[in-house]
Structure 1
Amino acid sequence: MKTLTGLAGLTMAGFMLLSCSTEVKEANYQVIPLPQEISVMDQATPFILSNGTKIMYPEGNEKMQKNAEFLASYIKDLTGKTLAVQAGTDGKGIILQLGGNAENPEGYQLKVTGDQVVVSGPTEAGVFYGIQTLRKSIPAAQGVDIALPAVEINDYPRFSYRGAMLDVSRHFFPVDSVKRFIDMLALHNINRFHWHLSEDQGWRIEIKSRPELTEIGSKRTETVIGHNSGKYDGKPYGGFFTQEEAKEIVAYAADRHITVIPEIDMPGHMQAALAAYPYLGCTGGPYEVWKQWGISDDVLCAGNDETLKFIDDVLGEIIQIFPSEYIHVGGDECPKVRWAKCPKCQARIKALGIKADKNHSAEEKLQSFIISHAEKFLNDHGRQIIGWDEILEGGLAPNATVMSWRGEGGGIEAAKQKHDVIMSPNTYLYFDYYQSKDVEQEPEAIGGYLPLERVYSYEPMPASLTPEEQKYIKGVQANLWTEYIPTFSQVEYMELPRMAALADIQWTNPEHKDYQDFLQRLVRMVKIYDVYQYNYAKHVFDVTARFEPNAETGTVDVTLSTVDNCPVYYTLDGTDPTTASQLYTEPVKIDTNCTFKAMAIRPTGNSRIVKEDIAFSKSTSKKITALQPVNKQYEFAGISTLVDGLKGNRNYKTGRWIAFYKNDLEAVIDFGQPAEFSKVTLTTNVEKGDWVFDARSISVAVSEDGENFKQVASEEYPAMTLDNPNQLYEHTLSFEPVQARYLKVLAKPEYSIPSWHGGKGNPAFLFVDEITVD
């Protein structure tokens, strides 16, 4: 790929002559997603985009006419110029035409000369993506002409399925908001809109044969405040889409070459439906539309023939509204506790001859019966199902496509079974997770930590699959669940700019991806966000601060950077930085307790302040060695995290914590020379619902030679109970003062989760943030 750095052989004076002294700004084809191949025509004359430019399309092709009208509207939005749209493909101007390599129907060629801009593709969709590249290359500037450098771009998407999911069930967003979301997808070359329409907390799509679904199931009496606090807002909440509104959205998306994939989640996440039709549940109710977040134990009764009729009725109307090949049937997070006690479900298990095996309970296999029923209905009507990776449990429906959300494991297993896969791992692509470690300055989120850089780092093709198995990875999707997202403005904030990173993952071949290059392209992309007044998150323009313990100097070294290399000022005394503070020029070496703050200063406004409390103890920035491995999923900066002087908050995914799983935390600190100490403190982070438990024991040993250790303190802790709160647990072991060069800390995790927990018998995670030695 050739990098476009400017217009070779043509000066700005030349621009002025070409445009009769009107100011000219230059287009830049380094857009998001990055095209596969950009070839600059050196020494060639650029095309000048002005008010007199025409956009032409093949006569009689309504889709191409729509493409032309989109391009004209985009140019109007960005530049204020009004371009004429007309049929025909001869003459000077912007020509939209069909043609080219049909191997990838969404590919396109963009060719710019002094007289013409030609966008061609084998399909109207391909031309549309060429239009998006042209649109994003044009600077947002009013009252100027635009110079389009002579170029040939040959481009195509890496994946045919490029998706984004919006949940409208926990919180409802009206038609105009959904259309705005679709516009965001089009800007990022995303071609699948996964629309989550049913949930325990609300049913959002009209089903005419089942009117109570919206009359009753779309309304909850009130909503829990925060993270299931037990307190409620006292405000009725509801909303749903009529079938006509849904069809309007389908058509709006189709004009932009986006397919809407509806999701009706089954057999779990159905309490809103049970509130409308209680006889479909195992207990018969009464049920209410759920007011809290989480997963209800009340699900569709798999032993009730009326449940099968209900599924047929609902899906029968869904396929009349949505023409998509795929219909999403959920299949995730379906508790089996009701089925285990339900006579009808147990009778169904017996009638089907279902037997438990070492991998699946009989009830898990019963779920496969429900999913297979839905699949047969859809297949009989020419459709295919997608389900979350739980549909693997109990045996996969024959033709199902798997959407892998619990990491990549489900996708890998499905690909090995020769099933198509959409990769959607929560560890990289759940946009309801926090974007910043400083959660106090963020709108409330479900938890987690998913910064832009981590999203961008995702590679969807698992190396553990063979090339033949990798062919089953059909696409990539990001998801936005809306428990804690009550407004569409917050939807935009959570999606953008992470959707830009998603776009590169979905479209651009990995050899062309580079995060620093992406950041430079993003600086230009957000100017388009500004034109449409998207409420995007601006973390990328904050100061990036890296805190690294330096065992050679005994300091914590702080490295600061910004995406645009603007001036950064910092303080060490807790005061807010100003231009009178210390200007950052090189890494800052810190060797004592301080409150570090840094801020980028720009003419357009200052960044948010980065703040960290650095607390020194005798172990800070000393050499540390792990004798047992850190869990790879939560390794972050590795074992040195335990001596970096930084404490973590309640969010264990910020990188301030590291995890141990299926083995102990066993680490040795080398003080370099004998030192005296009498106290060791270790803090753990407990989130029992995520299988994150406290330590069961901690011991401290010392050594002169690093090989022969003598234990000086130990403590054991009882197994956690259901009543133990999720919080930080600080464990301090005090002992008579000793002198030694080496100190070993051994912390044992919970190796068998207690029986009261859903993960009973499994090992738990142990999260630790710092070893403090005094």
Structure 2
Amino acid sequence: MNTLIALLMTTLIHLIPAPVEMISGEGEGCFTLHNGTLLYIQEPPVAQKAAFFLTETIEPSTGIAMTVVKQRPGSGAVVFVTKASLPAEGYTLTVTKDLIEIAASDPSGFFYGVQTLLQLLPPKIYQPIYQPDQYTSSLDLQVPCVRIMDYPRFAHRGLMLDTSRQFFTVDYVMKFIDWMAKHKLNRFHWHLADDTGWRIEIKKYPYLTEKGAWRGPGEVLPTMYGHAGKRYGGFYTQEDIRRIVAYASDRHIEIIPEIDLPGHSKAAISSYPDILCDLTGEVDLSIQGVSNNVWCASYEKNYKMLEDIVREMVQLFPSQYFHIGGDEVVTSQWAGCTRCKAFMQEHHMDDPIEMQSYFVQRMQQILNKFGKILVGWDEIMEGGELDREKTVILAWRHADKIKDATRAGYRVIAQPAQYCYLDMKYTSAERGMTWAAIIDVEKVYSFDPVETPGLTPDEAVKVLGIQGGLWSELLNMPSHIAEYQVYPRLCALAEVAWSPRENRNWEDFRIRLSQTHFDRLYFMGIRFRIPPPRADYVNGYICAQNDYPWMVLRYTCDGTVPGPRSPLYTGPIRTQTPELYRFAAFYRDDILSMVTEVNLPYDRYQKPETRVTGTINLHPQTPLSLLEDNNPSTYVICYGPLKEDHFIQYTFEKPVKTPGILIQTGLPRIEINIVDFAHVEYSPDGMVFKKADCLWENGGCRFVPEDSVLAVRIVFGDGNQLLTYYLQDLQIEK
């Protein structure tokens, strides 16, 4: 019987990321981990922290307290032994019925060996609470016999978190770091400053956080990305930074700081306006619709300020790398600056892009004073030459940029948006951005930083590794959306970064993920994304399904959100009113998917002839006629700030009867650059208007008219401070 149990356990070893080599079932039986199991550490300075991480994880969740001994036992023990022949970050893990041995040559290797051992235990090991009773003061855990030899494919395995557009607390950042470590990731790229907020305390320049860390009414930065009408923001004190860096270091994660320069700098410029160029007129908006967000590249005082900032930051971040941004710079601003035009003429520069290269070179000189290597987005390769030994390119715009950079002799970190931007939508129906791609888990898993860009062997050695990127424009809602966007996609990226290419197989990964790793994520406390169900209305029946057939589906028939007590979907539902049904998939009746409506074989909205008028300032390429085509994918761009009592009016050819009208602003299906303050009025005759009884929130509302409607008017309120907004067609229910 014990042999049968052991065989069953070894067939269920589902490790993520997959190891280099694993031989299951060596010998009969399992090792029993129980209260009093011995713990031996051959060289405490090298392995002690990893060993204590093991005990600190196991004891709270199981009640198992291990006993440290100074002599190596022959059985009944977990032993940590040093083997200098193993590669950096590599380890071996051997489990027999008598002993567990973790061997490594460095502290990181021991730490990753512990992570693999934890994955051999039941997923509840990650749950930090065990409630013993009088019969079971602690648990006994069966560990399957196995031999594993493992080491990473890439040295850089990371995640970038944008804390400028949305601010995350110290505790939440530490959670993110902890979850990364459990997936053998070792680089945390911390995006600390952008147009929308400066998040790190700089003592010499206090306004950066006194002013530049806050958005909303009365602040130097306008409301954006949610939080309408509120003062929103925050920053990390230098003591916060030290605490987070130490926490990450204990988990073998190096933190690479980034302040985005010379563009994406509205927060800094709003705090210290002298940073800006001496402009002679209006300048182009950035791609995000922000004005005047570029440091003056010819103003010598700016480099003194930047050196002061770097001086304080390098005392906080021991990493050899410092990321200076360099992306999406509105270089035309320099062409409109009296100082920069004179500088370009003096230095025989013909194109403002050369000013970008000059700025990056100056930043490189500053960083070199402090022994740091400059990291920048791939645009920094343009306009001039940089020291290849002191520059790392973070390739983001396309996988081809990996090829361009390595061919030019640069070292590269791969983060191409089409595969690695975790703020993109999983599917077209879910929350997220779409400009790079729709990115599901399989697409992340399909990326390879060497094969995808087609690198030669000489180019491949310049790839330091791979990381995911989480930009936070749309992470203001709903709760736990950051975890939803990251997991399980980061699980796939972790395997791309760690496992040998020949060991990767999508179907095998999918099984390991769904059958075991979902449970690990659950007990880690991660509110991860599970696939939403699809529901179709066919011949009078609603038929629902999910990517994972075993997953529980629940539904409602009144338009409300399904909950853990809603009816179970067990088969096709016969109904004549499919419009009101809502479906969701559930994991352990605790985590639910996005709620989905039924796909209908007919349009659920009316399409009346419509004429649109208004008092807004339009982009010349998006006339109001785009809102008259009853096409939900078209939109109008208008310029802000929007003035109070300005309006846009939809007038129908003849009155329509409808159970409800839905109004939404922002980019269609993305809800970015929404109108924060407005109300809706409607009229049965186009002359006398009544205020609709609906609360305007998250850029829109739905109202139920009392009678037929001839015209609908959106009246803008005070407080819409952005420079660019998107307006959409109405959705008029049948």
Q: Structure 1 length normalisation: TM-score?
A: 0.67
Answer yes or no: is 1:532 the counterpart of 2:524. Answer: yes
Distance 1:269 1:238 in 2: 17
| Stretch moving more, 247-256 or 504-513 | 504-513
Q: Give 1:455's match in structure 2, choosing from 436, 444, 455.
A: 444
Answer yes or no: is 1:305 the counterpart of 2:300. Answer: yes
Structure 1 514/200 Cα, relative in aligned 2: closer, same or farther at 3 Å? same
- Is the Cα–Cα contact under 8 Å of residues 216 and 228 in structure 2 kept in the other structure? no
Distance 1:329 1:514 in 2: 36
SS of match in other structure, 2:303: helix
Distance 2:383 2:29 in 1: 64
1:60 Cα deviation from its structure 2 partner: 4.4
- Partner of residue 717, structure 2: none
AA partner of residue 430 (structure 1): Y
- Is the Cα–Cα contact under 8 Å of residues 226 and 476 in structure 2 kept in the other structure? no
- Is the Cα–Cα contact under 8 Å of residues 48 and 114 in structure 1 kept in the other structure? yes
SS of match in other structure, 2:352: helix
Structure 1 614/299 Cα, relative in aligned 2: closer, same or farther at 3 Å? same
Q: Give 1:411's match in structure 2, choosing from 399, 402, 407.
A: 402
- Is the Cα–Cα contact under 8 Å of residues 421 and 469 in structure 2 kept in the other structure? yes
- Partner of residue 56, structure 2: 73
Unaligned ranges ≥5, structure 2: 125-129, 131-137, 538-542, 605-628, 638-664, 670-734
AA partner of residue 280 (structure 1): I
Q: Give 1:11's match in structure 2, choosing from 4, 12, 17.
A: 4
Distance 1:205 1:601 in 2: 39
Distance 2:354 2:529 in 1: 46
1:314 Cα deviation from its structure 2 partner: 1.2
Q: List per-residue Cα deviations over 1:467-493 (Å, max 9, x = no partner).
A: 221222211111111222237833222
1:324 Cα deviation from its structure 2 partner: 0.4
Structure 1 55/405 Cα, relative in aligned 2: closer, same or farther at 3 Å? same
Q: Give 1:262's match in structure 2, choosing from 242, 257, 260.
A: 257
What is the correspondence of 1:595-614 to structure 2 with a 5 Å cutoff? 604=589, 611=597, 613=599
1:117 Cα deviation from its structure 2 partner: 0.7
Q: Give 1:32's match in structure 2, choosing from 2, 9, 16.
A: 16
1:446 Cα deviation from its structure 2 partner: 9.0
- Is the Cα–Cα contact under 8 Å of residues 55 and 72 in structure 1 kept in the other structure? no
- Partner of residue 563, structure 1: 548
- Is the Cα–Cα contact under 8 Å of residues 400 and 453 in structure 2 kept in the other structure? no
Structure 1 521/234 Cα, relative in aligned 2: closer, same or farther at 3 Å? same
Distance 1:237 1:725 in 2: 20
Answer yes or no: is 1:238 the counterpart of 2:198. Answer: no
What is the correspondence of 1:637-716 to structure 2 with a 5 Å cutoff? 685-686=633-634
Distance 2:269 2:40 in 1: 54
AA partner of residue 599 (structure 2): D
Structure 1 200/11 Cα, relative in aligned 2: closer, same or farther at 3 Å? same
SS of match in other structure, 1:411: helix
Answer yes or no: is 1:148 the counterpart of 2:143. Answer: yes
AA partner of residue 96 (structure 2): T
Distance 2:582 2:210 in 1: 53
Task: Give the % identical residues.
Answer: 33
- Partner of residue 82, structure 1: 65
Distance 2:50 2:310 in 1: 33
- Partner of residue 371, structure 2: 382
What is the correspondence of 1:147-296 to structure 2 with a 5 Å cutoff? 147-222=142-217, 233-283=228-278, 294-296=289-291
SS of match in other structure, 1:10: helix
Answer yes or no: is 1:435 the counterpart of 2:426. Answer: yes
- Is the Cα–Cα contact under 8 Å of residues 485 and 529 in structure 2 kept in the other structure? no
The structure with higher relative contact order (CA 8 Å, sep 6+) is 2
- Partner of residue 131, structure 1: 114
AA partner of residue 523 (structure 2): V
What is the correspondence of 1:51-70 to structure 2 with a 5 Å cutoff? 51-61=35-45, 64-70=47-53
- Partner of residue 383, structure 2: 394
Answer yes or no: is 1:485 the counterpart of 2:475. Answer: yes
Distance 2:225 2:169 in 1: 28
Q: Give 1:423's match in structure 2, choosing from 387, 401, 414.
A: 414
Distance 1:230 1:307 in 2: 29
Work out the number of aligned pairs and report it. Answer: 590
- Is the Cα–Cα contact under 8 Å of residues 396 and 414 in structure 2 kept in the other structure? yes
- Partner of residue 727, structure 2: none
1:537 Cα deviation from its structure 2 partner: 2.9
| Alignment RMSD (CA, Å) | 4.4
1:507 Cα deviation from its structure 2 partner: 0.9
Unaligned ranges ≥5, structure 1: 1-7, 16-23, 356-361, 548-557, 618-644, 646-680, 690-723, 729-774
Q: List per-residue Cα deviations over 1:231-257 (Å, max 9, x = no partner).
A: 972222232222222112111111111
- Partner of residue 469, structure 1: 459
Structure 1 321/601 Cα, relative in aligned 2: closer, same or farther at 3 Å? closer
SS of match in other structure, 1:55: strand
What is the correspondence of 1:331-410 to structure 2 with a 5 Å cutoff? 331-355=326-350, 362-399=351-388, 400-410=391-401
AA partner of residue 242 (structure 1): T
- Is the Cα–Cα contact under 8 Å of residues 78 and 531 in structure 1 kept in the other structure? no
Structure 1 436/86 Cα, relative in aligned 2: closer, same or farther at 3 Å? farther
Distance 1:576 1:238 in 2: 31
- Partner of residue 101, structure 2: 118
Distance 1:246 1:397 in 2: 30
| Stretch moving more, 390-399 or 379-388 | 390-399
Distance 1:467 1:321 in 2: 37
Distance 1:223 1:51 in 2: 59
